[in-house]
Amino acid sequence: MRTSAPGAAPRARPPRLRWRCWPSAPRPCRPRRPSEAVTLLGQRTALLRNIGAAGRSAPRGIRIRCHGDYHLGQVLLKRNDFIITDFEGAPDHGVAERRRKHSPLTDVASMLRSFAYAAQMALRQCSLISAHERDKWEPQLEEWEQQARRVFLASYDEIACASGLYASFQEMAPLLRLFELDTALADLRRELVNRPEWAEVPLRRLVALAG
């Protein structure tokens, strides 16, 4: 986000998307659902069009120093309350970048991504059960992820609006969508290099964002 004039409300700008993580041709990987990679490649034009449309809006909000590496592994539950840990920021960023102020929605996008990974981890722990039982668990885990997203976003929006971070979540939704896209693209690039079997998680999110 940036401020157009002294005293003016900061204006949001789209993140620098990691387009290099979108290969020009499919790379060797073995996701559990290879059809999702094919679906995503077929939806590339639609996804680019959605990005262009979202970038035309100019949501207003406040930049703050963010967590930078916000996910479920950084949150501890103690006596019915939550403790957030590890404020060192993204490990692959320098100190200057970690101290730079960003839209708090970058952390929101990071936590939403974490819900998807948690659901996938739970599904993988079902590997010892039959395929029939696994097929029964999968839609339940997908529903859990969607419920977690809804509850988290509703709670965050209530507090963020009251704190003056932004005036309207509806206005900020396109920006959050871009941050989610940026996060998913970075995840896809990392998983294709290090854990091809986990590429399904960012692939599924990218397919959803293209819709």
Q: Which long-range contacts (CB under 8 A, 24 or more apart) does 155-159 make?
A: 156/108
Beta bridge partners of 60: 11
Cα 69 to Cα 11, 45, 110, 118, 148: the distances in Å are: 23, 30, 7, 16, 19
- Following DSSP, what letter does each residue of 25-66 receive, concatenated? SPPS---S-HHHHHHHHHTHHHHHHHHHHHTT---BB--B--
Provide the pLDDT confidence category of residue 40 given band limits of 50, 70 and 90: confident
Over residues 86-138, the pLDDT tens digits come to 988 888 788 888 888 999 999 999 999 999 999 999 888 876 777 777 788 88
d(CA 198, CA 192): 8
- With contact defined as beta carbons under 8 Å apart, do 51 and 17 qualify? yes
Q: What is the pLDDT of residue 9?
A: 40
Average pLDDT value for residue range 12-18: 49
Angle (CA) 29-33-34 rounded to 5° is 45
Q: Which helix (H) or strand (E) holds 77?
A: strand 75-78
Q: What is the pLDDT of residue 46?
A: 85
- With contact defined as beta carbons under 8 Å apart, do 60 and 82 qualify? no
Q: Which residue has the higher pLDDT, 71 or 30?
A: 71
- With contact defined as beta carbons under 8 Å apart, do 67 and 87 qualify? yes
Q: What is the pLDDT of residue 159?
A: 94
Query: Strand, coil or helix: what is 68?
Result: coil
For residue 172, how many C-alpha atoms fall within 13 Å in the half-sphere facing its CB? 26
Q: What is the pLDDT of residue 124?
A: 83
